[in-house]
Structure 1
Amino acid sequence: MTAEIQVVRDERALDAAFEVRREVFVVEQEIPVELEYDELDATSTHLLARAADGTPLGTARLISGEQALAKTGIAGRVLLGRLAVLKAARGTGLGAALVDAVEQAGRELGAEECELHAQVRAMGFYEKLGYIAEGPEFDDAGIPHRSMVKAL
């Protein structure tokens, strides 16, 4: 399955990205909707993956600048979050392509590192992409997570 990944530049594309997140996190993982969307959505860079016919397949967001510094406590680090791929597109390499696109956007902003908060059950996926766990396990929306970092 081939997909095109683009930075979200309009409300329609943002709505599509949010719908992917709703399907994956709110419907599938039963995360309360009030925890899924936050104040960082307004200032983050969102990426959207679409099939050739325009159907949304996946999304991710990049937190940078002062917001990233506030979340990570480390200058020169961006934060990858809300990576979501619809069931139909899982196992196709789309998740890895979205991670790569976020990393590239971070490099373009001058970031030296990328941090993410991985669900513990998904850590193997990120390890294959070069991420290294750091710090203790923590709870986020009732799901165990670990911080992971990769040098860009």
Structure 2
Amino acid sequence: MAVVIRVADNEDDLAAVWAVRRAVFVEEQEIPAELEYDEYDATSAHLLAVGEDGAPLGTARLISGAEALALTGGIAGRVLLGRLAVVPAARGTGLGVRLVRAVEELGREHGATELELHAQVQALGFYERLGYAAHGPEYDDAGIPHRTMTRVL
């Protein structure tokens, strides 16, 4: 499957990002829209994966800068990967791995030395295979059990 991953830097790309997140999180996982879209969307970098036909297949966001410092408890050099979503038709193709690696590279470009994410418990194995380690107890986020994970870049 030929896929291009790029930073969403225009209105059409951002609309595609929101469409993927709506399909995966709001419709499929039944997360209320008011919890899915937050104040970090305006200042985050969003990646968009599109197929050969231009159809949106996946997305992820990177939170860096002051927002990352606030969310990580002031840990310098740490950025956050979030809102990783792949549409059902593209699952099992390696796209999720490619999106994670693209966020890691973008994080490095922002000067990051470590990446944090808040993984749904059902996805822990996926992230562990990519070198992430879980820390702390499970917690509820939008009605779904999560754990914090990190990886040194």
TM-score range, shorter chain: over 0.9
**Which structure 1 segments of 5+ residues have no match?**
none
Give the percent of matched residue pairs that are identical in Structure 1 and Structure 2: 70
* Count of residue correspondences: 152
Pairing 1:36–2:49 present: no
**Which structure 2 segments of 5+ residues have no match?**
none
Matches within 5 A, 1:1-150: 1-73=1-73, 74-150=75-151
Query: TM-score, structure 1 length as denominator?
Result: 0.99
- Cα distance in 2 for partners of 1:2, 1:121 equals 27
What amino acid does structure 1 have at the position aligned with 2:152? A
- Per-residue CA deviations over 1:21-53 (Å, capped at 9, x if unaligned) read 000000000000100000100000000000011
- Per-residue CA deviations over 1:101-141 (Å, capped at 9, x if unaligned) read 00000001110100000000000000000000011111000
Secondary structure, in 3 states, of the residue corresponding to 2:40? helix
- Cα distance in 1 for partners of 2:70, 2:136 equals 17
- Cα distance in 2 for partners of 1:2, 1:136 equals 38
Give the C-alpha shift of residue 11 in structure 1.
1.0
User: Which runs of structure 1 show a deviation greater than 2 angstroms over 4 or more consecutive aligned residues?
Assistant: none
- Cα distance in 2 for partners of 1:121, 1:143 equals 9
CA RMSD of aligned residues (A): 0.5
Query: TM-score, structure 2 length as denominator?
Result: 0.98
What amino acid does structure 2 have at the position aligned with 1:70? A
